Amino acid sequence: MNRPLTSELISQLHSGALTARQLVESSLNRISELNGTLNAFVAVDAEGALTRADEIDQKRKSGKPLGRLAGLPMGVKDNMCTLGMPTTCGSRMLQNFRPPYDAHVIERLKAEDAIIVGKLNQDEFAMGSSTETSIFGPSRNPWNTACTAGGSSGGSAVAVSSGMVPLALGSDTGGSIRQPASFCGVTGMKPTYGRVSRYGLVAYASSLDQIGPLAGDAEGAALLLECIAGHDKRDSTSLPLERPAWTTELSQPLKGLRIGIADEYFTEGLDAEVEQSVREALKVFEAAGAVVKPVSLPHSKYAVATYYLIACSEASSNLARYDGIHYGHRADKFTDLVDLYCQSRGEGFGEEVKRRIMLGTYALSAGYYDAYYLKALKVRRRIREDFDQAFASVDVIAGPVAPTAAFRLGEKLNDPLAMYLGDIYTISTNLAGLPGISVPCGFTSAKLPIGLQLQAPILEESRLLRLAHQFQQTTNWHRETPA
């Protein structure tokens, strides 16, 4: 069975073969049928979605101008502020929080007449690679419910893969869009840092976080990215750039495009089936006229250590605001102000979040700052320089998204190092601020999806989307649907 792609649904809405209400009802029915097993949505606004669908249908009948996402149901990761809906970040700390405003990306979606059906499951405060740290329990992979959906945007990938919604938003701090997209067999993109405003995104690591699209194919991802990208003066890191028309560039020829292959991405620990699928995908590009050549990223071996020092340090600072005073969880029993802080934070945060706060606090502490955090910043610069040198001779870099396909739930939960090492191929993209995309490129013998990762220089999302789109014109991996 093939799930309908975004472009097909838009065509049916335009032609009148489908109404927004019918599409939203179908989405809600699918959620009702599957969410009890897959646990993708943690909050659903059925009444609000149907009301909005009726408004859009009426708008279409009256001939009024419509947004580019008019009538499409969408899910949003639960770390993006939504007016009138909960935003919990998968944490007890924010279990009852309802933001008084919309995030910038939510404003953009509403302006384009998208219909936000609900909020999607994630690792607590986006800290995890399996969605197992969520207070709502783990999302399950629709291809095998005994396996993880990936993380931290696991719910977003599951919702698209299982056909609950055609589009979803996730956030990517070290691979949190691309890895679940790979595990669930959908297309997921992390844009250039600053391409999409972080206003209203609950911060994990501010120099690494970036919002991006998940869709059934590259065309859907390009459309959604066009709708949410662009400058926002409320985010000081938002790039003052107009939104490019990526959807109009998808079919530009690939002839002569240079694809780099880094030896560092094909080393010990990479599953043989994953490597074979990635190498087979490269042959598709070569057949389309692209040139594949080797490049080197020598400092990538330090990426995991560098990332976890920087990300945890920033998390330690960002999460200091949750003190039991202003908002969020507040302990019922405490003796004094310090005890209120301790009890509220101890009860409100889960084990993985506490672990990362403590790691970050230690790295920033007097006497250790130079040895850890400052050194990590210097290595981060070296990692960026590796990419700069590689992109002097190639246009994109290709490789696997993760060392393996989806692993079993519980397999790595008590082994943080093993979990962290699963991000080895994705975190460099965030450290360097680059755009990256995950594209379905095959399956393991156990019928679990495999993703191909493509990375490009800063602001070159067009190259990634073109490659992904044309790969999907000659392959059908993205059209495969879990039973």
Quick check: pTM over 0.85? yes
The predicted structure's pLDDT at residue 278: 98
CA nearest neighbour of 216 among 438, 408, 49, 427: 438
Cα dist from 393 to 256, 295, 332, 387, 389, whole Å: 12, 8, 60, 10, 7
- In this structure, what token pair is assigned to residue 381? 């610069």
Query: Domains in the chain, start-ordered, CATH in brackets?
Result: 6-258+392-479 (3.90.1300.10)
Does pLDDT of 242 surpass 90? no
- Decide if 152 is catalytic: yes
* Cβ(441)–Cβ(472) below 8 Å: no
User: Which of the following is catalytic: 134, 139, 171, 176?
Assistant: 176
Residue 34, pLDDT score: 98
E strand map for 245-377: 258-262, 291-295
> Does 362 score more than 50 pLDDT?
yes
Q: Is the pLDDT of residue 10 over 50?
A: yes
Is it the case that residue 105 has pLDDT exceeding 70? yes
Give the active site residue among 152, 316, 438, 462.
152
Report pLDDT for 283: 96
For helices 375-390 and 303-318, the axis angle rounded to 10 degrees is 130
Tens of pLDDT along 247-274? 999 999 888 999 999 999 998 899 999 9
Taking alpha carbons only, the member of 85, 95, 83 closest to residue 330 is 95
**Distance (Å, rounded) from C-alpha 264 to C-alpha 296?**
7
When the pLDDT of each residue in the chain is averaged and rounded to a whole number, the result is 96
Quick one: pLDDT at residue 2?
62
Summarize pLDDT for 169-197 with one digit per residue, the tens.
999 999 999 999 999 999 999 999 999 99
| Three-state secondary-structure class, residue 169 | strand
* Residue 163: burial class (beta carbons within 10 Å; 0-12, 13-18, 19+): buried
> Which pLDDT belongs to residue 1?
44
* Tokens 């057949």, located at residue: 287
Q: What confidence score (pLDDT) does residue 3 get? A: 82
Instruction: State pLDDT tens for residues 196-238.
Output: 999 999 999 999 999 999 999 999 999 999 999 999 999 999 9
Residue pair 120/78 in contact (Cβ under 8 Å)? The answer is yes
Q: Return the pLDDT at 226.
A: 97
Query: Across the chain, which distance is largest between two alpha carbons, in Å?
Result: 70
Tell me: pLDDT of 153 over 90. yes
Residue 176 known to be catalytic: yes
C-alpha 124/C-alpha 61 separation (Å) is: 43
**Backbone dihedral region for residue 16 (phi beyond 0: left; psi -120 to 50: alpha; all else: beta):** left
Find out whether the peptide bond into 152 is cis, omega within 30 degrees of 0. yes
In the sheet that holds 258-262, the strands lie side by side as 41-44, 115-120, 73-77, 167-171, 211-215, 187-190, 436-443, 449-455, 396-400, 258-262, 291-295
Beta-carbon-side half-sphere exposure of residue 456 (alpha carbons within 13 Å): 22
Identity of the amino acid at 29: N
- State the DSSP code for 305: H
Does the pLDDT of residue 35 top 90, yes or no? yes
